[in-house]
Amino acid sequence: MNQVALALETPAAEAADRRGFDIGWDHAQLGLVPVAELLQADNAVYQGWRAGQAVLGRRVPASSPATRQWLGLRIRAWREGAALDAEQLTPATVARALATHCPVLRLPLGGAANQPDAAQLERPDPTAAWSAGNLAMLSQRAAQAWQGMDLTQLLRQARTAQWGAEPVCGLDAAAWWRLAALRSLATPLPFSQAARLPLALLPPPQLKLANAVQRLQWLLTLQFTTPGWAQRCRRLAGLLDDAAQRHDFNFFVAALAPRVLEADAAPRALQRALEDAWLHERVQRRWQQLALNLGEAGCAALLQRAQGLAPAPATRPRHAAVTPRRAQAAAAALAA
């Protein structure tokens, strides 16, 4: 990009103004117009857009939804003063985060802006910078539900909805558990706390899991996403030297397996069945017995030993939230 240095019209070219100017310039380079509320003479985005137009001339508008989402995300981060990793966060990484359904509400995305079903990119860890590993697409309704809430508050809402058997703030207990799971996966936690949380939502693509015990939880769940899971689970059990730990592992598999066998074979249905299975008391109890007996060092050791143990790739592509290719890549990354 041949971007020339131009003086801003504002009194001082602060870092925030520089970021806004660059966003405007990229709009011009892509042939796009910033949102109307930014088209003010003293706005850094507007200044960058006008400068880009003057230097670059007219451009054919970019049509990629990921590119538009990328620009919108940068504008949001700039407005909020939030840190953003510009090297990691590109249209390509945003494209990998795009989803057709809200993972929390399980409803199709695609509504107009400011509608409950509109797609919205969120940071699972709101205290960290926007980056490829801290990105998830939710519906606007789900994003608004957890606004300003930390993990403790999300868990409290989930338990309140579960005990009361009624929706809280419009979300049922399972939806609150999925929101809490998403937040927990990106939040560094003490081992004893992370080990006791259900994997009520399988991690979105690219999400960087902050806790080793949850990486193990995800790795074990991945084994059930493609055929041959029974053989892979036997191999995993064989990696444990302690007979009591193998016993705990087999009891955990026995608790989770019936949920898989009862599920529809369609990948999206299987993913949802696995998420729902984690909310069953027996599955949680067996998992906590295994994880706590392994301990923090044991969970890390099992992850290390499980390198290369991934679900086999499918012979044909399948459209799903957890495809065999994604399952294989995720298992390799988690074990690394």
SS3 133: coil
**Which of these, 255, 104, 221, lies nearest to 173 by C-alpha position?**
104
* Distant-in-sequence contacts of 165-174, Cβ < 8 A, 24+ apart: 169/145, 170/141, 170/145, 171/104, 171/105, 171/142, 171/145, 174/200, 174/276, 174/279
pLDDT (tens digit, 9 = 90+) per residue, 116-150?
999 999 999 999 999 999 999 999 999 999 999 99
CA distances (Å), 32 to each of 41, 61, 72, in order?
A: 18, 6, 11
DSSP assignment of 236-283, as one string? Answer: HHHT---HHHHHHHHHHHHHHHHHHHHS-SSHHHHHHHHHHHTTSHHH
Beta-sheet pairing, 119-122 with 136-139: antiparallel
pLDDT (tens digit, 9 = 90+) per residue, 243-253?
999 999 999 99
pLDDT (tens digit, 9 = 90+) per residue, 30-75?
999 999 999 999 999 999 999 999 999 888 887 788 999 999 999 9
- CB within 8 Å of 332: residues ≥ 6 apart: 307, 308, 310
| CA 115/CA 117 separation, integer angstroms | 6
Determine the Cα angle at 62 with ends 129 and 96, to 5°: 45
| CA 220/CA 222 separation, integer angstroms | 5
For residue 279, pLDDT over 70 is answered with yes
Model pTM score: 0.85
For residue 155, pLDDT over 90 is answered with yes
Question: Which residue in the block uniquely carries the two structure tokens 């509109």?
Answer: 118
